[in-house]
Structure 1
Amino acid sequence: MGSNLTAGYGGVDIIKNITLEIKQGEIAVIVGPNGAGKSTAMKALLGMLKLTDGSVSFSQDDITTMLPQDRVNLGIAFVPQTHNVFTGMSVEENLEMGGFIRSEDISHTIEDIYNLFPILKEKRNQNAGELSGGQRQQVAFGRALMTKPKILMLDEPTAGVSPIVMDELFSRIIEVGKTGVGILMVEQNAKQALNIADRGYVLVNGKNSR
């Protein structure tokens, strides 16, 4: 998906000549120390950063110059680490917001999300801002899935959650991968994440080794 990516901020390159591949139904994980460029790499793939060098492709098409919202329409979804739910809206309203780009009826997809995350069905009318950190992550995850993505990118999905919730989230990630969605995630819990990964990338000083 990303070939020889070089990008950064304020004229300073944070990632340098890295290549990341995501295949259908595959879980790929990016790990590395703080400041290694993990989140920067993901933003480069999403078009949130202008590349100094390299290219991004999707389904064999070059999307390097495509705007982030157009990449979403193609089938690329992203769950940021923070500020990833609408706290003043209910769980179900958050999910509905995720389906805004789709013209067809989304009720069946909402039920699919509730089957994946049963606690969300119980709390469907509760404001997302009142939920625990782990439950918010499930809302954010579910909202991204409402777009019916082909590629799902997760930025530290288990940050700040308990070990039990972390295991549950990883189980759900595996389930989603089995449906054919390609998953790329940045993860601080490296050992656990690599245990479920089909492909792992280690970033150190902005460079990767697979």
Structure 2
Amino acid sequence: MSEPFLIGEAMVGGYGAANILNGCTIAVEKGEIAVIVGPNGAGKSTAMKAVFGMLRLRGGHVRLDGQDISALSPQDRVARGMAFVPQTHNIFASMSVEENLEMGAFLRRDDIRPTLEMVYHLFPILRDKRHQPAGELSGGQRQQVAVGRALMTQPKVLMLDEPTAGVSPIVMDELFDRIIEIARTGISILMVEQNARQALMIADRGYVLVQGANRFTGTGAELMADPDVRRTFLGG
């Protein structure tokens, strides 16, 4: 079998002397949505940071499109086609929406206007508010700016850490709809989500982490149907 497009395999690592990741493996194929769920403190965000190079691994490796990128910095991973949207502090509040989006294209030397137009098509409210300071937007709109800015890098992999944290159920559904649209363009989506049930409904594959290790792995539908997953992690 061919290797997944992106894989963090048997990852071990943490902060200080303690390991938070204890051999977990996370993978996503091209154009797939992969979701990491689990209880608080399970290592979900740490796994994302390890895949993106923000945490140096003590064991395991990360490979993108067959190439070992374990030693690369986050900046070098961006140049290879990875984009990461952190849960907080993910916009420049005093800059306009459009300036935020343009900042996402800082590595590019080509015409960014078609990508900008694609972002505005995906998130029409950003076009309406493009001259407004991003810090004045609602929480859901700020998340759209953060995702849009990541898309300006023309990523092959888009990594989202809690994209729906603190937004209303209606906004959450809208964001998930846009995430599905993005994946349909061939971009791989890897995300951590507290709203596990809703996230697994759109996931091609899901990973349930407990104490930094894989507890359950399967398609979103398989995990939704698993009585142990439902009882322990989805509220029955």
- When normalised by structure 2's length, the TM-score is 0.88
Q: Is 1:26 aligned to residue 32 of structure 2?
A: yes
The aligned residue for residue 128 of structure 2 is: 122
Report the secondary structure of 1:180's partner residue.
coil
The structure with higher relative contact order (CA 8 Å, sep 6+) is 1
Deviation at 1:108, TM superposition (A): 1.1
Please identify the structure whose Cα radius of gyration is greater. Answer: 2
Q: Is 1:50 aligned to residue 56 of structure 2?
A: yes
Deviation at 1:190, TM superposition (A): 0.2
Q: Is 1:60 aligned to residue 61 of structure 2?
A: no
The aligned residue for residue 16 of structure 1 is: 22
Report the secondary structure of 1:55's partner residue.
strand
Aligned equivalent of 1:196, options 176, 196, 202: 202
Deviation at 1:205, TM superposition (A): 1.1
The aligned residue for residue 146 of structure 1 is: 152
> Aligned equivalents of 2:169 and 2:153: distance in 1?
28
> Aligned equivalents of 1:24 and 1:81: distance in 2?
23
Report the secondary structure of 1:183's partner residue.
strand
> What is the RMSD of the two structures over their aligned residues, measured on CA atoms?
0.5
The aligned residue for residue 232 of structure 2 is: none
Report the secondary structure of 2:71's partner residue.
coil
The aligned residue for residue 78 of structure 1 is: 84
Deviation at 1:145, TM superposition (A): 0.3
The aligned residue for residue 184 of structure 1 is: 190
Deviations 1:101-126 (A, max 9, x none): 11101011111100000000000000
The aligned residue for residue 168 of structure 1 is: 174
**After TM superposition, which residue ranges in structure 1, 4 or more long, deviate above 2 angstroms?**
none
The number of residues matched between the two structures is 210
The aligned residue for residue 42 of structure 2 is: 36
Aligned equivalent of 1:107, options 106, 113, 138: 113
Deviations 1:11-62 (A, max 9, x none): 2100110111110000000000110000000000011111010000001000
Deviations 1:123-167 (A, max 9, x none): 000000000000000000000000010001000000000000000
The aligned residue for residue 213 of structure 2 is: 207
The aligned residue for residue 230 of structure 2 is: none
> Aligned equivalents of 2:47 and 2:30: distance in 1?
19
* Counterpart AA for 1:53: G
Which ranges of structure 2 fall in alignment gaps of 5 or more residues? Answer: 1-6, 218-236
> Aligned equivalents of 1:154 and 1:115: distance in 2?
20
> Aligned equivalents of 2:25 and 2:119: distance in 1?
32
* Counterpart AA for 2:135: G
Which ranges of structure 1 fall in alignment gaps of 5 or more residues? Answer: none
